[in-house]
Structure 1
Amino acid sequence: MRTLQTILFTCVLILLLVGCKVEEVDVYDMENSQLKEHNNLLQEKIVRLEDKINKIEKDNLLTSPAAVEQWYEEFDKKFSLLRVDNWDKVSISKPGDDNEVTISDERIMTAIGDLIGGFRDPEPFGSGPFSDVPNYQYTFVKDGEELTIDVIARDIIRVNDEYYATSENLHLLGNAFLTPPPYLEGNIPIMTKLALSGYVEVDTDYSYGMFSSFRIINLTNALAELGEQIDYVPSELSEISLTLHFYFFGEKITLTVFNEKYTKVTNGVKEYWFIINDPHVFENILNAG
């Protein structure tokens, strides 16, 4: 009997010992797996931090005064034709469209020169830049040389398969003189035409032009908010104090300000008359810094 009890006791003891070892092995495997996972996460963080450090070092290198100066020197060498403001002509068109407009007016040429400002490398845009404006193609010609740029977004151009970020107003040259996109065809309200014009020419004691969405929209807002449209032609008018010519996709719209309170907008054969108590508001907008 004692022999049987001894055998049973011995078996139970063996099972307990084996069970403890198995549990110890399971706990060890679990801890080892967790350590490996934690190590992998740390490695990923290290890689991301290294990428950030490399980017910061690269940005600091590229934005150093010497690097910026070198960048502009290389740009001026490659695209010196864009730095000229008295081209023989500038031709503008839409990709795939036979309609081409040639610009040779000196005032417009000067305004185009002011429009072409600083160029810089654009931020990465993955599969391609998204455009909320029509795409245009501009060709600059001077002394037999020519350079073509593609305006592919509001502030992105392509030159010889290289992309550059530039003035957000560069597309306004096409908006001023080429045909409108389908969504701007038909009976468009006069205020919309003024606001979406690409170019405005100022006739005062001296004439000049500008491609500026900021000025054009503010001029339109002043007329819309301060002007009271009337349905009659004033019988007595004072002298003209200011004349503005807006160019909306090939249409010329003239805004005439008289010294007293009347302002006239002419679009083809249509005339629109307004009363504005402050006739100098347009000059203030043009002269604002």
Structure 2
Amino acid sequence: MSNDRTVGGARREYERVADALRHEIEGGAIAVGARLPTHAELVDRFDVSRATVQKAIKALEGKGYVESAQGKGVFALDWRESAVATHVNGVATAAVEAGSVELDDAIAEAFEADHVTIDAYCLTAESLNAAIVPQARRILRGELEPSSIHVRLLLARPGAHLAIPRIVGDPDDTRPLDRLSELIERHAFTLRNLLEDFGRRGVEVSVEVRTLPITPVAKHYLINRDLALMGYYKVEANSVELPDGDTAEIYDVMGLGARLYPQGPEQRAECQEWFDSLWTTIAESV
């Protein structure tokens, strides 16, 4: 089985998607001015997450191959006209900030191992869910054959009176917390069901979920005991639909697409001790 992705800088999932589309544009399979397949179609075609497709499109935009039109789609440009503008002082303008790692890439590489372990501290596990789904499909196709998968999730506690999310100007309104509880339960339940199904296929699987009465302001992933990633949630005003159907502007912690940074050996060990200390003390099982 070949592995064309490594966290340290080899080919990443979004680069695989971007390269395939770039070759089609350069070769004329996607004509100049033509609309590219939708994000949903690209997700199915390349068996990756929506976040990976979005990053691939962004990379192609930075290199002058495509442009996005609000509400209309993504369209191919004449890449030859913009090729001379893709470098400034010899540095690619679309280069990803050095040192950051995509969760999709890290999880894809982790599932190449015989024994997969993931400890995650985050708000709802939505990003982790999205990163694991393509790997689950690869297992079903027989491309991956891990012997064991062990996941521990530390999430915000449904029903707890958290500081965030809250309605702008009305912190006592509990409806944003009700909405968050629904999201947490949905993503945790989906991830648990997804992985535990492999337990019935001969893979040793455990998915444990515990919660804390805290709104995380940073997310942490400890992967296969040899990689620790950290990223920050940004607090932003966001218009959302509440459980009762009303729409409101809330202060929310936004984590999808957050840059994740690998930690050094000492920080990795410290992060593991920190995670374990929460897991074994104040975290509650669900």
- TM-score w.r.t. length of structure 1: 0.24
Q: Which protein is bigger by CA-based radius of gyration?
A: 1
Higher relative contact order (CA 8 A, sep 6+): 2
